[in-house]
Amino acid sequence: MKNKSIIFIIFLVLIVGFATTRCKRKERKPNIILFFSDDAGYADFGFQGNSKYKTPNLDKLAAEGVKFTDGYVTASVCSPSRAGLMTGRYPQRFGHYTNLPGRPDPNVPDSVRGLPLSETTIADLMKQNGYTTGIIGKWHLGTQQHFLPYNRGFDEFFGIPGGGSQYFYPKSLKYLACNYKDITEDTLPYLTDAFGNEAVDFIERHKDEPFFLYLSFNAPHTPLQAPDSLIRLFDAGFRTGVRKKNAAMTTSLDRNIGKVLNKLDELGLTKNTLIVFTNDNGGAMPYNASLNDPLRGTKGTFLEGGIRVPFLMKWPDHIKPGMLYNYPVSTLDLLPTFVAAAGGKLPDDRFYPGVDLIKYLSGEIAGSPHETLFWENVYDKAVRKNNWKLVITPYGKRMLFDLSNDIGETTDLFQLRPDVAADLLSELGKWESKNVDPIWVVDTIWRKHSDRRYNQSIVNGFKRD
């Protein structure tokens, strides 16, 4: 009888322990992974309809989650786009209009050339909600010590403080920084592979706790460099060497995203991980041989080819597989989406224009997440309101497009619809009135450079096949 009692007690302990473990697992906050590519073309992925590019892992991600047809970034160049992403706020609200480092100016020291310290980052908020935070890859929000990721909410940083890097060792080494281990030749294969390997290592080390990982690839940003074995995959697909290299760099990007997805599967973490893939701005034609079809414009413009980007999201049991979402969304929405998924709340000391996208994807909230979206560089600006879009070029030309039937922005309706143009100009003026002056500006040569890219006949001459 005594033995039976002992066995029964052991049985109860095991049952309670099993139930407690299951409860803890169920209550664990979701992991969050943000994949970010750099200067990729809108047309340069399989899930975007490109049959020549090899992106099976991202294609699978698109099939298993939602593809946003009208996904936008907050700027048409790298640094302010990342500033908007990291803060969930329009970068013009805190003076971060253009790329770093900007024009030399004795009144703007290096100590202020970066994401202002007054801003709260996604990483800050995720840490407050119990997450381990890591960034692997490109930062481009200030190279001074106080601007670096490990002083902006990230527990770990392995990557590029500035805007770019060579891809092969030893030249890539001089661009890299790391706050948790030494960087040696052994850790530096082809740079995109190095970032993928580091991401897998990060996940392995933090698999037992909720983590936020920002995997910010610099591919396919220039310089165009890829392993010969990958370039040879495209010998029969493209006539120009630069286009082959772009395709090879994108394949490497996709394969390293695949490494991360496979690691999640291996560790049983996939179901409890929210994943996003997007790009920092439009394709940098002609420099990296990208392609933005069917969109007009390139990186550096506020035409669709400069700010509309590939945009995917997956979260099993929260997002239906194979969704196609046709309302405008923005990288402004990622911070509030991530904080809500973590069970947190946004700070109430500043305004966040973004929304929790999960509520819209689930149908909890109907309609469009945004009636209006805005963009401004030092010289050009734009506003989208519903399906109407107003663009003001660097030298003041005003154009109006109806995106409901003209995403290629082929027909300027500014003269034909003065009522719509006046309304959008009013909206833009009200938004601008709340912005602050730029902390730094770019050289005036950039003004001419950007203005040329508003001329689609010039852009068409950049295309490579």
Mind telling me the catalytic residues? 78, 140
Terminal C-alpha separation, the chain: 83
Read off the amino acid at residue 405: N
Say if residues 260 and 197 touch (Cβ distance below 8 Å). no
Question: Alpha-carbon torsion 221, 225, 227, 231, what sign?
Answer: positive
Per residue, the 3-state secondary structure of the chain, as one string, reads CHHHHHHHHHHHHHHHHHHHHHHHHHHCCCEEEEEEECCCCCCCCHHHCCCCCCCHHHHHHHHHCEEECCEECCCCCHHHHHHHHHHCCCHHHHCCCCCCCCCCCCCCCHHHCCCCCCCCCHHHHHHHCCCEEEEEEECCCCCCHHHCHHHCCCCEEEEECCCCCCCCCCHHHHHCEECCCCCCHHHCCCHHHHHHHHHHHHHHHCCCCCEEEEEECCCCCCCCCCCHHHHHHHCCCCCCHHHHHHHHHHHHHHHHHHHHHHHHHHHCCHHHEEEEEEECCCCCCCCCCCCCCCCCCCCCCCCHHHHECCEEEECCCCCCCCEEECCCEEHHHHHHHHHHHCCCCCCCCCCCCCCCHHHHHCCCCCCCCCCEEEEECCCCEEEEECCEEEEECCCCCEEEEECCCCCCCCCCCCCCCHHHHHHHHHHHHHHHCCCCCCCCCCCHHHHHHHHHCCCHHHHHCCCCC
Which of 337, 344, 343 is closest to 360 using CA atoms?
337
334-341 vs 78-87: helix crossing angle, rounded to 10: 30
